[in-house]
Structure 1
């Protein structure tokens, strides 16, 4: 297998030690603020792809991985850009191998992959998540503005390598905290994109948009589902009020620290005992809740996918070598530093970003929400959605709620206007494509046009 080499730099040979040093990066494009470093292509499985690091000067490397659709004339088919965020599982792992990429976590070809119909672009962001790496921890973005600049560079880098996709209809998906990244990138594209693109829509899945508002409904939500009693509801409402007050007082870091203890509070203080915040229908043992990673999502995906190996080791031991990524880059090793970087901004509401898009651009916004997610619980999401301030508010609120039926099964409900759509997704948690793939495919058919 041919290794990438750096164009413009000679092969350096250390004569004294008798050792050769291979400069193995292939630089495919140069820009005043970033360099595109292509990785090994088509070395993992049989489905074509290209992947790269966008090396941003003075910051670090953003990793992206692109699969052209297997349909004919790929550049005319929709392009899905998938983002996660600070508290989730990076797209190169969860979205790609865990949910809808060409292969599953056991490297078996997926029979219902989205690549059959759509172009897929997975971007690990922010720096420090997944294969993306900051030069130093203090280079990790501490704001959505900084992060959107990094994403803008990564997208330009992608288009430089795949120039025939600049007019392809683009849809930016953001799951969990990735919703904030998706919205800020869309605004950046609307305001001052230095390259051609064809963005059509932003899609938010169980988005962390106004998390303290969602918290206000959590006690009610879990009591109605019988996970806690009235005493437990009181505990959660006290927790919610204290967290919101910290944010109101500008103590955002302290509020974030408190927010991260939510799983312990629900299971130990509110009496739920064994609730997986990402998918509350998951039946756990008392002991399994002691392992708190990504709000329970990583363990859930690991168990539900029947992966034969630890999913993080899979990325280090199987994926990285195939892509030609150096073995000194440990997958998702910067997660703790990323959490620290976003500590003071994570809980700030991002509702204004949606309002800006609806009021100042032609982009549509689609929001879907799995009803088994505790953190972004559906009652809490509807609280801020129905209070969005924009010119189409009355039309959206008054539009009828319709039923989403697939194969004669009620998979959820939806309310829609041309600019804004909301989907209630039944029996699904934080990651709807993982929990309810058939219903999610129907949503895609409706919105990717």
Structure 2
């Protein structure tokens, strides 16, 4: 009897070991991915906030940089995860969104009051590859299309979850500011169709979605604000038609060059006088044809923060443990040159696809003092979207956004599509209207 008991015990232990071994094997097979390696960075850090900074090495392509702050709110892994993207003509998220707008520390490394990290998990990815601290193996590895960028972003997001698996069930909201909106839309489609991950929402922040169409309303917009002389509107509308004709003909590179000459054109040929408000013309002025500050956003961030925006190389890189051979934003000119071939292509079909074929909600907010993505032009494509819920959206009454007894904007909301007019704000709404955007965030993530 004793012998039999020992045999049974040995069999039971053996079975447990085999089962455990099988479990480890299954875990290894599921999590093993030969397409990337995560390199967690180690430095002295910035302040005392918990964070993860890492490079996702996408084999044969390059290193994608990401910076994650877990929320300080209770039940953090169930709180929304905000993934922030910018684009080829913007300022990389690790600087602009994180230090410039709503991360736990400001650009002077002081603790920020009312940081988004108080309510949300924040993930900043420098994209496309070749911008910010994201570095390609060579110029040839910089993505040529939005879809290639989406694949890189999806791989980077997968690598994030491999490090922080407890956040897999956190509601994911993908934000894209400026041209980053096109990256956000493409990533949402990639995740939905090929990665079996369903984001809760896509948020378009002063998005560059149909730039030639939006530009057609710029003359009207500046005239209504009183910023141009009598001949200014027809001059701008002539330029806008030239850009539109180039886009129609598929001549996207020349269309891009004309589009990004807008600031100089407005100042020199449209009779603009003292129009260099931080909200408007400075956002679209390029100092030289080779300048990386195509829309003046670096200069705007420098003026508002009254700080040196070159801190990414001088301070942040060493604090995070960035490899010494990596220079912040060193490849942006190459990225811009490549994206000239696609920048001006409208992305409205991506929005329509998401609305018609997925459960992902689309939210759009627009600073009313942004000329590049002027609100009248944005409404041209928004009001003409083709999907089954469009009539309900257009019939929904516009509400007033009141914050601290002030009218900060307006909104039109349906479960799938939302639009927010943001007063007294330019392209960087979180920087210009922090209190108002916090209320909008609450509305977007409420469900």
1:342 maps to which of 318, 339, 343: 339
| Deviation (angstroms), 1:42 | 6.6
| Deviation (angstroms), 1:330 | 1.1
After superposition, give the CA deviation of every residue in 1:51-100 in whole Å (9 maximum; x if it has no partner): 11111112111110000001122101110000000110000000000000
Q: Which residue of 2 aligns with 1:116?
A: 118
**Residue correspondence of structure 1 range 365-404 to structure 2 within 5 A:** 365-404=362-401
After superposition, give the CA deviation of every residue in 1:273-320 in whole Å (9 maximum; x if it has no partner): 54348712889xxxx98577241221111111121xx20x20001110
Q: Which residue of 1 aligns with 2:5?
A: none
Q: Retained in 1: the 8 A contact 2:40–2:55?
A: yes
Asked whether 1:223 is paired with 2:220, we answer no
Structure 1 counterpart SS, 2:231 = helix
Structure 2 counterpart SS, 1:199 = coil
| Deviation (angstroms), 1:33 | 1.2
- Paired with 1:367 and 1:216, the residues of 2 have a C-alpha distance of 20
Q: Retained in 1: the 8 A contact 2:43–2:318?
A: no
2:423 maps to which of 419, 423, 426: 426
- Paired with 1:334 and 1:271, the residues of 2 have a C-alpha distance of 36
Q: Which residue of 2 aligns with 1:21?
A: none
Asked whether 1:447 is paired with 2:444, we answer yes
- Paired with 1:57 and 1:275, the residues of 2 have a C-alpha distance of 47
- Paired with 1:101 and 1:63, the residues of 2 have a C-alpha distance of 16
Flag the structure with higher helix content: 2
Q: Which residue of 2 aligns with 1:36?
A: 38
Q: Retained in 2: the 8 A contact 1:278–1:295?
A: no
Q: Which residue of 1 aligns with 2:174?
A: 172
- Paired with 2:319 and 2:416, the residues of 1 have a C-alpha distance of 42
Q: Which residue of 2 aligns with 1:297?
A: 297
Asked whether 1:260 is paired with 2:257, we answer no
Q: Go from structure 1 to structure 2 and tell me whether the alpha carbon gap of 1:281 and 1:350 turns closer, same or farther (over 3 Å shift).
A: closer
| Deviation (angstroms), 1:30 | 6.0
Q: Which residue of 1 aligns with 2:49?
A: 47
Structure 2 counterpart SS, 1:346 = coil
Q: Which residue of 2 aligns with 1:407?
A: 404
| Deviation (angstroms), 1:41 | 6.1
**Residue correspondence of structure 1 range 33-182 to structure 2 within 5 A:** 33-40=35-42, 43-182=45-184
Structure 1 counterpart SS, 2:384 = coil
- Paired with 1:155 and 1:180, the residues of 2 have a C-alpha distance of 17
Q: Retained in 1: the 8 A contact 2:282–2:297?
A: no
- Paired with 2:119 and 2:348, the residues of 1 have a C-alpha distance of 31
Q: Retained in 2: the 8 A contact 1:279–1:372?
A: yes
**Residue correspondence of structure 1 range 169-318 to structure 2 within 5 A:** 169-193=171-195, 197=197, 199-276=199-276, 279-280=279-280, 290=287, 293-307=293-307, 310-311=308-309, 313-318=310-315
| Deviation (angstroms), 1:40 | 1.4
- Paired with 2:342 and 2:83, the residues of 1 have a C-alpha distance of 24
Q: Retained in 1: the 8 A contact 2:191–2:198?
A: no
Aligned residues: 413
After superposition, give the CA deviation of every residue in 1:121-152 in whole Å (9 maximum; x if it has no partner): 00000011100011111211111110000000
Q: Which moved more, 1:360-369 or 1:30-39?
A: 30-39
Q: Which residue of 2 aligns with 1:12?
A: none
Q: Retained in 2: the 8 A contact 1:174–1:182?
A: yes
Structure 1 counterpart SS, 2:92 = coil
Q: Which residue of 1 aligns with 2:17?
A: none
| Deviation (angstroms), 1:154 | 0.4
Q: Go from structure 1 to structure 2 and tell me whether the alpha carbon gap of 1:289 and 1:337 turns closer, same or farther (over 3 Å shift).
A: closer
Q: Retained in 2: the 8 A contact 1:206–1:376?
A: yes
- Paired with 1:91 and 1:282, the residues of 2 have a C-alpha distance of 20
- Paired with 2:104 and 2:182, the residues of 1 have a C-alpha distance of 26
When the two structures are superposed, what TM-score results if normalisation uses the length of structure 2? 0.89
- Paired with 1:61 and 1:290, the residues of 2 have a C-alpha distance of 30
